[in-house]
């Protein structure tokens, strides 16, 4: 059998100090309030609305782009002004952002709590579906 070594006084004091520090650190931790079922249900419903609403806007703008701007490429012999695709995309980004910013409160979604990543998320969905819809309609 192996002999047990006795810890020196300094090692015992260091271990006791470490234990006290960890207890003090545990006491200093801020405990976040747990969300109840009602808050989770509201957050889930808001997430669904924040996904579907920009998707529908993107599809609507896809059809509108076909009607208003056609192919987005200047064609020979075409009368009038034609706009390039990047102008149309900039216009779609600006309009969908503006529309969403002012219509989310009517959908009972707090826009003040939106962070930059939330705005990127909803704009990506709107622009992505606009581009997919417009591309499919052009083919």
Domain membership of residue 28 (yes or no) is: no
Any residues with CB less than 8 A from the CB of 137 and at least 6 apart, and which? 62, 63, 66
Average pLDDT, the chain: 81
- At residue 28, the pLDDT reads 63
Any residues with CB less than 8 A from the CB of 74 and at least 6 apart, and which? 82, 84
Q: In this structure, are residues 53 and 108 in contact, taking their beta carbons and an 8 Å threshold?
A: no
Domain membership of residue 48 (yes or no) is: yes
- At residue 73, the pLDDT reads 67
Domain membership of residue 22 (yes or no) is: no
Domain membership of residue 100 (yes or no) is: yes
- At residue 38, the pLDDT reads 85
- At residue 70, the pLDDT reads 76
For 114, other C-beta atoms within 10 Å of its C-beta total 16
Domain membership of residue 12 (yes or no) is: no
Q: In this structure, are residues 65 and 130 in contact, taking their beta carbons and an 8 Å threshold?
A: yes
- At residue 67, the pLDDT reads 87
The CA distance from 46 to 26, in Å, is 34
Domain membership of residue 3 (yes or no) is: no
Q: Could you list the residue range(s) of the whole structural domain that residue 68 is in?
A: 41-138
Any residues with CB less than 8 A from the CB of 78 and at least 6 apart, and which? none
Domain membership of residue 29 (yes or no) is: no
| Closest C-alpha to 88, from 118, 66, 55, 56 | 66
Q: What would the pLDDT profile of 89-124 be if each residue is shown by its tens digit? A: 999 999 999 999 999 999 888 888 888 999 999 999
| Closest C-alpha to 124, from 49, 59, 58, 65 | 58
Residue ranges for the chain with pLDDT beneath 70: 1-34, 72-81
Domain membership of residue 21 (yes or no) is: no
Q: Name the domain count of the chain.
A: 1
Inter-CA distances, 42 with 37, 47, 48, 112, Å: 9, 9, 10, 16
Q: pTM here? A: 0.67
Q: Is 40 left (phi over 0), alpha (psi -120 to 50) or beta?
A: alpha
């Amino acid at each position: 059998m192996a002999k047990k070594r006795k810890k020196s006084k300094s090692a015992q004091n260091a271990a006791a100090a470490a234990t006290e520090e960890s207890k003090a650190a545990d006491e200093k931790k801020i405990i976040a309030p747990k969300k109840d079922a009602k808050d989770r249900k509201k957050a889930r419903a808001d997430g669904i609305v924040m996904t579907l609403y920009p998707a529908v806007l993107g599809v609507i703008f896809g059809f509108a782009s076909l009607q208003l701007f056609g192919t987005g490429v200047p064609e020979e012999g075409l009368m009038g002004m034609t706009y390039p695709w990047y102008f149309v995309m900039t216009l779609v980004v600006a309009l969908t952002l503006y529309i969403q910013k002012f219509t989310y409160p009517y959908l009972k979604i707090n826009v003040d709590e939106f962070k930059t990543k939330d705005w990127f998320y909803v704009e990506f969905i709107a622009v992505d579906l606009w581009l997919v819809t417009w591309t499919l309609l052009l083919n």
